[in-house]
Amino acid sequence: MTATAHGPRIVALLRISAPGRDTTPSVRSWCSCGRDLVAFGQRKAAALIDDHARHRTVCPLLTEGKEAA
């Protein structure tokens, strides 16, 4: 989340759905920079979770202002 004059706003979101036994997990990685990826299955979901974490370190919308800190 980032703060604006109107309060915090969501910039990036990772949604993980693992509904239970014998079901397929899914992950959605979304960012206001235009990223919108979905993965199904344990291996692909885990890879997308890792990729989402990497994206958070390089996305200009999420790193803006961190260099000055």
pLDDT in tens, 24-37: 999 999 999 999 99
Strand partners, 36: 30
Q: Which pair of structure tokens corresponds to residue 8?
A: 């915090």
Per the domain annotation, does 50 fall within a domain? yes
Distance in angstroms (rounded) separating the CA atoms of residues 43 and 57? 22
Contact 43, 29 (CB under 8 A): no
More confident residue, 69 or 61: 61
25 inside domain: yes
Q: Give pLDDT tens digits for 2-50.
A: 555 666 778 899 999 988 888 999 999 999 999 999 999 999 999 999 9
Q: What is the largest CA-CA distance in the chain?
A: 47
- The answer to whether position 68 is within a domain reads no
Beta strand ranges found along the chain (DSSP E): 2-4, 7-9, 12-17, 26-31, 36-40
Question: Based on the structure, what is the number of domains in the chain?
Answer: 1
Report whether pLDDT(69) > 70: no
Residue 69 within a domain: no
